[in-house]
Amino acid sequence: MNSINETNLKLGIIGYPLSHTLSPQIHEYWFKLHRISGTYEILEVDDVGLDRIFCDNIHQYRGLNVTIPYKVRVFDYVDEVSDSARVVGAINCITVEDKKLIGSNTDADGFMNGLLAFNGDLDFTNMNVLVIGAGGAARAVIHSFLMKSTGQITVINRSSDRLASLEKVFNNQIHCMDWKKLNDSISQFNLIINCTSQGMKGENDFSLDFTSIQKGLSVIDLVYNPLETKLLIDAKRHGCKILNGIPMLLSQAALSWKLWLDIKPDITDDIIRFVEDKI
Ligand code: NAP
């Protein structure tokens, strides 16, 4: 790896659209904190622009994050894929080495690190988890629980075809449930995670019927804008412990730094407040 005393350290994020991304602010905060002179560029590109980055410009960068809609497309450009990126089926972090590009997924470990920071005493073997959603984020969350040998993982998704393809990936390790059973089954679970984009700013709210929950239920929403979705507000009103998507957002970014620079920034209250203030 090159020295990070260099003056032209370049990182960035590829996606479309990127108008609401908080990644530059997060990475610039850490550049300052770690006294590194670097830039984190927003690469908002169409398909042609994506190709151009990889064919012409990629070796300018030490590392790139990848977001919607390119987390799958970039498999075509990398030379090596990490185990978690292969299982999750998505690359959100590319490390640029002299001779090769390595595609990784830091969402799975980022989710788990955020969860453990929220509650380090979790008893994974007796956990009965409901994952709502079957997209890339849901896959990362499921993979992170499987790595911990979590008790029972149930997955539910609006569209049955996407749920069926997720079931194939995780084989006999998860239980899939019909979308219509969502509210009737809620009493079974002690941890519920919304991995859908419902509840994000500009989207419809996501609601659950919390009247029959078990005591001690925790509810996590991967959405971080707004900081408290209707789902989290309702859950809190019913006595649940709640967590938004900020710890995962920061942890996956910190894990990208570990891969690119061999530095793992701490997720402090200061950076959490800094990011929350940007929303
Ligand atoms: P994705 O691959 O596009 O998947 C979207 C998921 O949301 C699908 O399961 C989809 O169901 C479901 N969905 C969308 N609209 C819905 C609706 N109106 N009702 C019910 N289900 C609906 O997206 P993703 O990458 O998994 O991201 C999902 C969410 O996680 C986003 O809000 C994203 O911002 C968040 N996220 C947060 C972090 C973080 O660091 N905090 C990291 C990654 C993702 P169908 O299959 O039926 O369409």
> Residue 154: what pLDDT?
98
Which of ligand 1's atoms lies nearest the C-alpha of 244? Answer: 41
| CATH code, domain with 237 | 3.40.50.720
Which of 109, 169, 167 is closest to 141 using CA atoms?
109
Tell me: the pLDDT tens digits for 46-80? 999 999 999 998 999 999 999 999 999 999 999 99
pTM above 0.85, yes or no: yes
Distance 157 CA to ligand 1 centre (A): 10
What is the 8-class DSSP label of residue 53? I
Residues 54 and 93 in one domain: yes
Distance 198 CA to ligand 1 centre (A): 7
> Residue 179: what pLDDT?
97
Pairing outcome for strands 63-66 and 9-15: parallel
**Arithmetic mean of pLDDT, 117-138:** 93
Residues 134 and 228 in one domain: yes
Quote the CA–CA distance of 177 and 156 in Å, as a whole number: 5
Residues 58 and 146 in one domain: no
Residues 91 and 25 in one domain: yes
Could you give the residue numbers annotated as active site? 71
**Arithmetic mean of pLDDT, 237-242:** 96
Count of domains for the chain = 2
pLDDT at 3 over 70: no
**Is the shortest distance between the CB of 208 and ligand 1 below 6 Å?**
no
Residues 192 and 87 in one domain: no
Lowest mean pLDDT among 113-122, 159-168, 216-225: 113-122
Look up residue 61 and give its amino acid.
Y
Q: Considering only the C-alpha atoms of the chain, give the largest distance between any 2 of them, rounded to a whole number of Å.
A: 58
**Arithmetic mean of pLDDT, 26-47:** 96
pLDDT at 183 over 60: yes
Tell me: the pLDDT tens digits for 73-111? 999 999 999 999 999 999 999 999 988 999 999 999 999
Residues 78 and 140 in one domain: no
Tell me: the pLDDT tens digits for 186-207? 999 999 999 999 999 999 999 9
> Residue 236: what pLDDT?
98
Q: Per the domain annotation, does 2 fall within a domain? A: no
Instruction: Please say whether the dihedral angle defined by the alpha carbons of residues 265, 40, 201 and 73, taken in this order, is positive or negative.
Output: negative
Q: Percent of the chain having pLDDT more than 70?
A: 97
| CATH code, domain with 96 | 3.40.50.10860
Residues 238 and 113 in one domain: yes
> Residue 5: what pLDDT?
60
**What φ, ψ does residue 250 adopt, rounded to 5°?**
-75, -40
- Domain residues for the domain of 100 are 9-105+248-278
